[in-house]
Structure 1
Amino acid sequence: MTPAAVAAVILAAGEGQRLRPLTSLVPKALCPVGNVALLDRALARLAGLGLGGPSTVAVNAAYLADQVVAHVGERARLSVEPDGPVGTSGGVARLRGWIDGRGVLVGNADAYLADPLREPGKDIAAMLDGWGGDTVRMLTKPVLPGDTGGFGGRRFAGFSLLPWRYVRDLSPEFSDLVRTVWRPAEAAGQLELIAYEGAYLDTGTPATYLAANLHAAGVDVDLGDGSTRTPRRGDGLVSQGATVTGSADDSVVGAGAVVAGRVRRCVIWPGARVAADEDLFEIVRAGDHTVPAMAH
């Protein structure tokens, strides 16, 4: 099946409660990783597969939906859930009329993916290669030590591909794809696990959010699976619009940020400030919020 017969949905409705207070400022999908919003990273990945524009790509929104709507603009079809998030399954179901018989590639906006060659979309092209439109496909990595659940010794890595025959029966009520699609497909022998060779992180916690930023900046970071690290060690990523009169080592500093003190392995959001007397280590600074990201 060719990409022309497939639509894509990026799920961006979640509150991101584990990332509070960061997500009191912006929805999780708009949190920056390497100074690029997670949602923009997902849309770029789809563009690498030839999927773009409101006829082939949709984004759902609920929490702080007005921010998501304004950010997406005309780049994708928007599906707003006015009464709050309806889960991954409900979010896809609300777009059935738009999907209209096509297969659908569903991605989580909070998934950080980095292909080995840093070419968006290239590694996940296997999700579409040779697909006949009958099976459910899931992008996967090996399970981590201590993981429970999973699928055949592997864990979900941010994207799944659903045939129309599964989508057409989904309810717009609150539910998740684990219950409505993935487990039923697994039980029926219709779940294909596609191995992803790049780096993957669910950025839902301060620790994983910091790790994704450091990885995007080329800073050495343990991703937890014992196998995937950055190919080089860098000095971090400082936006040209930032002002650093102190020092920013192995950190990500956004546009308009001012760093007068010292930051090491930190994420400083656009417009945030670090005073001259501050020495921050493994911290996320967003507005007036200072969020410790790692346990020491």
Structure 2
Amino acid sequence: MPLLDRALARMEALGLPVAVNACYLGHMVAEHVGDRAHLSVEPGDPLGTAGGIGLLRDWIGGRGVLVGNADAYLASDALPPGADIAALLEDWDGREARILGVPGPPNEFGGHRFAGFSLLPWDLVATLEPEPSDLVRLAWRPAERQGRLRVVEYPGTYLDTGTPADYLAANLHAVHPGNLIGEDALVTGALDRAVIGARAVVAGDVTRGVVWPGGEVAADEKLTDAIRVGRGLTVLAH
């Protein structure tokens, strides 16, 4: 879960108390996070971006909240590591709602689209309930109508890695133009822009691909534009 680890690192770099909301495969998320953050595991169906915050409302206890999507990939040559979301907090008055944005379609907020992180004052958080709902309708748009929503432009690349194609694109962007090989991986095949997870065994060729930790690519295989999980699960990224 490298993107989750990146999100945790961003929060930790800012010196903030960190909570992780987990739903789908929540037990795996909880096991991975361990004691690095306060854990909130949703009990049933997904609560959405607002409902998950509502479930954490007592833990938040009157504070403002910096909310990050763990599947948001951010990369910028203009900012040092750990500083890419710090602009959201600069000179914050505790009342303004802020979202990180990048220019371009679908132009959700003026000429920007949402880039994975937002900052919410407590009075907006206090209205959120632990029920299926989203921050767009219950927090950002209301703040926008009140004239207290600000878009903080992100000077870099943002990808929402919710699809196989975007997940692969984020991995390839991170290693361009080379390869990344995890600890204890055994690679005897040819690699071209590949991300190989820890303990993976790669005897075949991988071109523009990702092999998850512990995954395998047999000697007679050529994995291209795809993600390999375990020994036989291949997710095509196009």
Does the alignment reach a TM-score above 0.5?
A: yes
Is the contact between residue 78 and residue 155 of structure 2 (CA under 8 Å) also seen in structure 1? no
* Partner Cα separation in structure 1 for residue 173 and residue 112 of structure 2: 22
Structure 2 residue 190 is matched with structure 1 residue 247: yes
Q: Aligned to 2:147, what secondary structure does the other structure show? A: coil
Instruction: Name the counterpart of 1:170.
Output: 128
* Partner Cα separation in structure 1 for residue 228 and residue 34 of structure 2: 28
Structure 2 residue 142 is matched with structure 1 residue 184: yes
Shift, 1:117, TM fit: 5.4
Instruction: Name the counterpart of 2:11.
Output: 46
What letter matches 1:292 in structure 2?
A: L
Alignment of 1:58-73 (within 5 A): 58-73=19-34
Q: Which runs of 4+ in 1 moved over 6 A?
A: none
For structure 2, which runs of at least 5 residues remain unmatched after alignment? none
Alignment of 1:21-40 (within 5 A): 30=1, 37-40=2-5
Structure 2 residue 172 is matched with structure 1 residue 214: yes
Instruction: Name the counterpart of 2:156.
Output: 198
Q: Aligned to 2:227, what secondary structure does the other structure show? A: strand
Q: Aligned to 1:250, what secondary structure does the other structure show? A: strand
Instruction: Name the counterpart of 1:271.
Output: 214
Structure 2 residue 179 is matched with structure 1 residue 236: yes
- TM-score, length of structure 1 as denominator length: 0.77
Shift, 1:240, TM fit: 3.5
Instruction: Name the counterpart of 1:15.
Output: none
For structure 1, which runs of at least 5 residues remain unmatched after alignment? 1-29, 31-36, 220-233
Shift, 1:244, TM fit: 1.1
1:66-124 deviation line (CA, Å, top 9, x unaligned): 11111111111111111122111011011111111111000001111123257433121
Instruction: Name the counterpart of 1:258.
Output: 201
Is the contact between residue 62 and residue 81 of structure 1 (CA under 8 Å) also seen in structure 2? yes
Q: How many residues align?
A: 237
Structure 2 residue 232 is matched with structure 1 residue 292: no
Q: Aligned to 1:140, what secondary structure does the other structure show? A: strand
Q: Aligned to 2:94, what secondary structure does the other structure show? A: coil
Shift, 1:238, TM fit: 1.3
RMSD, aligned α-carbons:
1.3
Alignment of 1:98-177 (within 5 A): 98-116=59-77, 119-144=80-105, 147=106, 150-177=108-135
- TM-score, length of structure 2 as denominator length: 0.95
Instruction: Name the counterpart of 1:75.
Output: 36
Q: Aligned to 2:85, what secondary structure does the other structure show? A: helix
Q: Aligned to 2:173, what secondary structure does the other structure show? A: helix
Is the contact between residue 116 and residue 199 of structure 1 (CA under 8 Å) also seen in structure 2? no
Is the contact between residue 100 and residue 114 of structure 2 (CA under 8 Å) also seen in structure 1? yes
